[in-house]
Structure 1
């Protein structure tokens, strides 16, 4: 009897041990959860028709602000001079030296600038929607010349070096179309129709096999459609990936808000994007997308926390941005001479940003 009890005890012990081993094995195999990669550098974001630039530390999400006193529309970063070029809706340009903090007085170069793109030569192409032209602007001597006409509705512009020359991509927000033009001889390579609703900037991806289009989705068929515009069932903005040869839409990445612009990282692994009214109305964000997986992996807030910190309400409670630049090698302490105050963080004392007066 005792022997049978002993055998039963041994069998139960073995079963318990096996169960524990299998449980540990299963626990070890369970995924640990997705962790986005860490980023470094600084992003400069133009507030739509605002007189300041939001400065974002990509390492920790802290914010600072550059007061420019010009209602900017487009923003470019020119390296290695380390200068920001701000183009306003009323055709003026202003520079901000990030290293020294010096700002040039605004200079009128045209009547109504809309989009801008910098070439490898340092020259800048600017769209003028009132005159219906693309202008060539040479910052070194301030020379302005007419490059080519544009169609009604074309605003955002991007330039990419390709095997057969430099391709200009012009986005037509109202016509929902793109025109691809070779810079060297101004030949129209392709016109792509039906690429999205309320599109903004479009740019070749690093492989050159696709064009990523910022679909803001603000309007569709002339009626409010997107976040912050439609009262119900508002459509979020995103990226439409278009085949540049066939014009077919190969994929769509939902980002949210009203997507405005896309910049690819230097190594081609990531796409930085900015959106207004994200996720609903009172914030704007910088979103990072993994290019290979086409997956959103990180979001940064751009407006709301800083406005709460300064005690200044967002105009009509809505956050709009229009352009941005990325300096992946930039360091936050290097912009100390140009920002109004040190980088703001709600985590300085652990207090909530909703009660900023308790933060030193």
Structure 2
């Protein structure tokens, strides 16, 4: 393979819409309103319209969005927040930073989502929130989670950083976009996300007007009116240049999802019958937008498989090699190896193959050929 294979091909994605992006950027630069300029306001309206949600609040990044959401919901030090043991560290990081207690829960071995069948057993009189993570591009079972949350009067914060544009499918067939089904949704616009900017960015989504006003105030130093600070806040904002990029790219988001889904479908049809590799499972209550195409490799062969691909010029990624409860930074909470066996096993088994909006057929054919070679040859 002469052409270098990319996990995510941001350069060619940019080149395909270069004229739109450049025009939007030049307009933002010419106006010189670099903070909270008209492009930010326009993107907020686009974000609301796309997600069919009443309120959107932009901020500096997805981690800030999670923190601002918990601050806006009034969580206090010592409160417990239920969070999956198999997730990116940011989901748990903000809980610890706010003096809250992360209450870990295992995940389902097929869809990698929070195990909603264990959820009720994790709730105590200190529980104030549940954070379902829509991992790799697919929604968690929000009806099951919302029902338990309503029963106990706790808030649901959707971590939608990897699933912007995915739709939750209710039992009656109607749909809502990821991030709009719980109490509040948070997302990231990190460059590799399905909707990514050219730096950092984030947002919160909600249909609760009072909550929307509160998180907007918190993100702006705790002020509604300049120099009048009603609460302790943070300084977290989406800059105008990034908004100018996002306001173009959001118009292509459905197209991007279809491109990723086509790549995933080809992987599925090519790899489904190979013994030793398990392709991603689709939940019947969600569409999948494939921020990652994450497989499981059986018999402790994941690392050998990764090395084999690397030797042949095929990149891959392991999301995530260590479960959060076993990270050194979170040892204070008293969890041990064996507490969350599914999460721990996934950290040994999962691997993500290249997937992006610009995948060429010949590149994917080569990747598939190498995957098959590993499992058909002796390694």
* TM-score grouping bracket, smaller chain normalisation: under 0.3
Higher relative contact order (CA 8 A, sep 6+): 2
Q: TM-score, normalised by structure 2?
A: 0.23
Q: Normalized per residue, which structure has more strand?
A: 1
Q: Normalized per residue, which structure has more helix?
A: 2
Q: TM-score, normalised by structure 1?
A: 0.24
